[in-house]
Amino acid sequence: MKERLKIYSKWLTPIGEKDRDEVHRDGDWHESFHCWFYQHEENRSMIYFQKRSDSKKDYPSLYDITAAGHITAGESRVGGGLREIEEELGLKVTQNQLNYTGFYKEELLFKTIKDREICHIYLCPYEDHMKLKINEEVTDVVQADLEDFLSMLSKKRPDLIARSMLTGEDLPLFRSNFCPHHFNYYQHVVQAILQTR
């Protein structure tokens, strides 16, 4: 069964439903759930990225939001989000663990896809007892220093070192290894995490 999404006008008024492929073909505005996991240590903050599988249709093998997905027609934003977290990370979290930070309208326009998303951005604290059980859509989850990530985005440094949560290996990652979100989107996420300290 095809995934049906609600579509919206540029003023965020609901105007109907479409199949996901048609939404990306036509460039319709639609809602998505973005959940960023983070952790504060004594003198630094950490942010978590999932590595998308090599077989993903969009942005294969790139590092992206810890857990994210489309909100399907008839599904609540939080309900859909909790489903995505469990599907992608194997974690059962509750609504009380999520902190809504607002939405960001993002347009990513390429030859093969016109992705206009109303990104509802949530934060969730990562706790050491959490055990990740990733599925075939995700090949790894890595932890990176938040300040290093911001410095890389600002081109003050060429790369950062991230640690795999599955193997413990340290990985050098460059800006080109990450999904192409707008700088202002990433800035929103970084500032929201810093405000939770």
Q: Token pair for residue 125?
A: 């604290």
CB-based contact 36:121 (threshold 8 Å): yes
Q: Is the pTM of this model over 0.85?
A: yes
135: pLDDT strictly greater than 70: yes
Grade residue 110 by pLDDT with cuts at 50, 70 and 90. confident
pLDDT at 58: 81
pLDDT at 192: 97
- CATH value of 4-194 in 2.60.40.650, 3.40.1350.10, 3.90.79.10, 3.40.50.740: 3.90.79.10
CB-based contact 141:66 (threshold 8 Å): yes
Distance (Å, whole) CA 70 – CA 105: 14
pLDDT at 113: 83
pLDDT at 108: 86
CB-based contact 180:108 (threshold 8 Å): yes
The proportion of the chain whose per-residue pLDDT surpasses 70, expressed as a percent, equals 99
CB-based contact 88:135 (threshold 8 Å): yes
pLDDT tens figures, 39-91: 999 899 999 999 999 988 888 999 999 999 999 998 999 999 999 999 999 99
Grade residue 106 by pLDDT with cuts at 50, 70 and 90. very high
Instruction: Sort strands 114-125 and 29-40 into parallel, antiparallel or unpaired.
Output: parallel
Q: Token pair for residue 10?
A: 């540029």
pLDDT at 1: 62
The angle subtended at Cα 139 by Cα 31 and Cα 154, nearest 5°, is: 65
Grade residue 128 by pLDDT with cuts at 50, 70 and 90. confident
